Chain A
Amino acid sequence: MRLIDRLPRLGRRRFLRGGAGALPAAALLAGGVAVSATRVWGEDAKALKPGSAVTLVRVARDIYPHDRIPDIFYARAVLMLDAAAVSDNTLRDLLEEGVMRLDADARDRFQSPYLEVAGESDRVALLEAISAGAFFKKVHGALTVSFYNQHELWPRFGYEGSSAEYGGYLHRGFDDIDWLPKS
């Protein structure tokens, strides 16, 4: 079978620059170093407070945890939501108030803001408690599209995307499965 390279074919630098449209400048400066970078995503937010954006990146990963996907993809999805909030005050308030409420819940139950609640299952419990509310629904709904719709993410899931320009799969493995048991 023709398998696909799950890590981006492009070098790391081109990979980062390739997505420059959606990519926060600060991330480029930080060289995409994931750990310290989580702090900087926040500063690229245009509508949200930096701290709220950083918390939302954590929320995004807790909603759609894929351990092989680096933070930058979650950050891009959150920054798209942030961009929509620039001209939409209702959305901005929904997000800011949602983060505030989440932090308050986290302090009540775990004595620290959401971002610093160490256990994933504890954070998930906090999300579950608000999952019927407008804030969670909005963030979840937006992520469903904006997170999974990032083309650079697709190879990591083994998805090849647009195929017409390569002549389809007629000569590229539409029927190349080789492991099925003989009947």
Chain B
Amino acid sequence: MAKFDHDDDSLAVIIGSGAGGGTLGNELAQKGIKTVILEAGPRFEIADFVNDEWPSFAQLAWTDMRTTSGTWQIAHDFPNLPAWIVKAVGGTSIHWAGASLRFRDWEFKTRTVYGHVPGANLLDWPISLAELEPYYAKAEFKMGTTGTNGIPRLPGNNNFKVMAAGAARLGYKEVHTGNMSINSQPRDGRGSCQQIGFCFQGCKSGAKWSTLYTEIPKGEATGNLEVREKSMVLRIEHNDAGKVNAVVYIDADGNMRRQKARVVCVACNSLESPRLLLNSASSKFPDGLANSSGQVGRNYMRHTTASVYAAFDRPVHMYRGTTMAGIIRDEGRNDPTRGFVGGYEMETISLGLPFLAAFLKPGGWGRSFTSGVDDFSNMAGMWIIGEDMPQETNRVTLDPVAKDKFGLPVASVHFDDHPNDIAMREHGFRQGEAVYEAVGATRTFRVPPYPSTHNLGTNRMSEKPRDGVVNKFGQSHDIPNLFISDGSQFTTGAGVNPTLTIVTLAIRQADSIAGMMGKNEI
């Protein structure tokens, strides 16, 4: 395994080892580019994962302080946990459920297709689906996505069968077990899904793609990639010419270190990435790095989400088997006659008893609440995930008071639902309830959003430097050797789960970085 010198200024330094950073690290290493990944969290292995929701949360989740404001319900229900993301090597690709959907053509040009939506800061992406298609194909091949590359879909579990039966009665047409980056048959040195049912807690069979045991070891095997765990980056530094040249971090032993770099790629997920750029402000860049547009931290998106659970007179055992292998796609279209622009998906979801008690009705108690929990084994569940509107005022800023243990201001997340988000969520609730009522649900539960699992948009891509932070390659408009490599570069969020697109962009970005390095442009 490679070990690079702190004074080696020929390196690509990637901050964060999740879906974006872990993929980029492997891709660069495969091209012979010497790369260091600095990851704030520790390195676990598959054997360390536990099938137990709270202990797993304690093991993996990012629980360092964050603050919230705004009218979104999260600020009330979970004021210091705006997002549910992982702090460990592999990042949130350990937690993720594996749903891997391509954006649709029009989801790259929503300003054009939706027109002016009051209050929304819509912008077309500077890239099209056609440009991304070859990279989507590479990502699906890499991740072993079911329903692509001749890979069969997963078998449906009980939770899926309930949803599918309801969907059929409502006349929904596009209903299946999804495009999941979970092996339905052995592939790429990993076994097939054992229907364990703890996909969110780290897949103990390794059937689910995670950078932890796919991209990262493959990159390391080239001798070009070094991953440093427990290495929290505090700031990015630059030279007089305004190019970034080093990052300062706290290493696993608690010592402050300075790693030189030729290129810096930020992949800390959409709350920490803008925080890091803002915390890196200098006399040359007083508003933070790459922030001449003032857009760093703005346009924060989290998808319009909600869940519908339904109780039946007979058992379902929704927690048995793959958590999210089930989808109804018919509501994914853009059809403003429904009262909102953009679309949403309905995907199966299940929680174990401990998390169901925490999320069914946050703050709930008394018999109306406990009678719901009593229905646990007879419940089916689905998640609604749709496009939300980017708003300039939905943003990550530096908290004026709260500091982390290194004395740096923590991320403060402000979010207000847009009227379009509210209308879409209401529609999703109604349709979800209808699905279950069609097969005899005796009670349905409208469950508000969980802490954000999809965090997007806070360093967005734009054609023009004044509208966003990075260009179509994720390269910052202001600093040519500074890249953003995670979901924060999304211009808009589309109505689908984001990770396939994050991985796709990372593969493409590796090509661009290698090309620019080869031509000595960076």
Contacts and interface: CB of A to CB of B under 8 A. Distances in A.
Interface in A125-167: 127, 140, 144-145, 147-149, 153-154, 157-165, 167
Contacts of A1: 315, 317
B354 A148 contact: yes
Interface centre among B204, B377, B440 (most CB of A within 10 A): B377
Given A3-B315, A159-B376, A183 B165 contact: yes
B51 A175 contact: no
B194 interface: yes
B353 A157 contact: yes
A175 B155 contact: yes
28 contacts: A4-B377, A63-B366, A66-B370, A127-B365, A144-B357, A145-B54, A145-B354, A148-B373, A157-B353, A157-B376, A158-B315, A162-B50, A162-B51, A162-B52, A163-B196, A164-B194, A168-B193, A168-B205, A169-B195, A169-B197, A174-B155, A174-B197, A174-B320, A175-B157, A177-B158, A180-B161, A181-B439, A181-B440
Nearest to A64: B370
B196 A161 contact: no
Interface string B290-329: 0000000000000000000000001111011110000000
Contacts, number: 127
Interface in B362-408: 363, 365-367, 369-370, 373-374, 376-378
Contacts of A153: 353
Interface residues of A, number: 42
A124 interface: yes
A170 interface: yes
Interface centre among A63, A159, A168 (most CB of B within 10 A): A168
Given A145-B358, A154-B353, A157-B353, 19 more contacts: A1-B317, A63-B366, A66-B373, A144-B357, A157-B377, A158-B377, A159-B376, A161-B51, A161-B352, A162-B52, A162-B198, A164-B51, A167-B194, A168-B194, A169-B194, A174-B157, A174-B158, A174-B197, A175-B155
Contacts of A183: 165, 168-169
A174 B195 contact: yes
Contacts of B42: none
A172 interface: yes
A8 interface: no
B153 to A, nearest CB: 13
A169 B354 contact: no
Interface string B236-277: 000000000000000000000000000000000000000000
